[in-house]
Amino acid sequence: MKAPVVLLTDFGLSDHYVGVMKGVILKHKPKARIIDLTHGVPPQDVRAAAFALLASVPYFPKGSRFICVVDPGVGTARKLIWARTKEHEFWAPDNGLLSWLPIKEARELAVPDDASATFHGRDVLARMPKGGKKTDWVRLPPPGAEVLSIDRFGNVVTGLRKAKAVAGLPVRRTYGDVAPGEALAYVGSSGFIELAIRDGDYARAKGVKPGDKLHAA
């Protein structure tokens, strides 16, 4: 079975943007198998998108092709790139979104003269061109003692993989290790330490937002 085309955006699902990108993909590659990784990345949050890729890419079959559109600089001088790891291909704006993947090579993509200045996802990336000259790519600082992402349960994903305590909470094994309503830190399924309230919403209760710095011990 052919490896899938995987979409990651901050578009949400209430507008037509995701559907139009899928139409373009199928227009150029009618037999493509399309998977929605997520369209719920917080608007313009490149670090959250980079984390989503870091946590997800290893679970996809060899040859998977990822089209990634979280692009606050759309229409500016920032580049669009095709890039590859040992096993996968990526199309994305060159804004750090691919920072935490083991990229082997990147090539700059041309933007057609008739492309919309505000929808390069549709007019360039969804067509999956191979690109031209080799180029370097933007790299964000590695994850650290900060909030990388917040999931729909209000659990806070940090950039830490090892610590005895974070935000004053000792690292536990799982939610059941504390009483309902009690806060805890634990190693989440992505391998990063997370903060949660059992049966509650840690981010809302503590007023936490992406990018916040954290104290770890």
pTM of the full structure: 0.94
Query: Which domain CATH number covers 16?
Result: 3.40.50.10790
Do 195 and 155 meet the contact criterion of CB atoms below 8 Å apart?
A: yes
In a domain, 50, yes or no: yes
Claim to verify: residue 15 and residue 110 sit in the same structural domain = yes
pLDDT at 107: 97
Looking at every residue in the chain, the average pLDDT score rounds to 96
Helix, strand, coil in percent for the chain, rounding step 5: 20, 25, 55
- Would residue 136 count as lying in a domain? no
User: What percent of the chain is modeled with pLDDT above 70?
Assistant: 100
Q: Which domain holds residue 77?
A: 5-127
Collapsed DSSP state (helix, strand, coil) of residue 172: strand
Same domain, 22 and 123: yes
Q: Which two tokens stand for residue 180?
A: 């309902």
In the chain, the number of structural domains is 2
Q: Is residue 41 part of a domain?
A: yes
Quote the distance between the C-alpha of residue 73 and its chain's center: 16
Same domain, 91 and 23: yes
For 17-76, how does the pLDDT look when each residue is reduced to its tens digit (9 = 90+)?
999 999 999 999 999 999 999 999 999 999 999 999 999 999 999 999 999 999 999 999
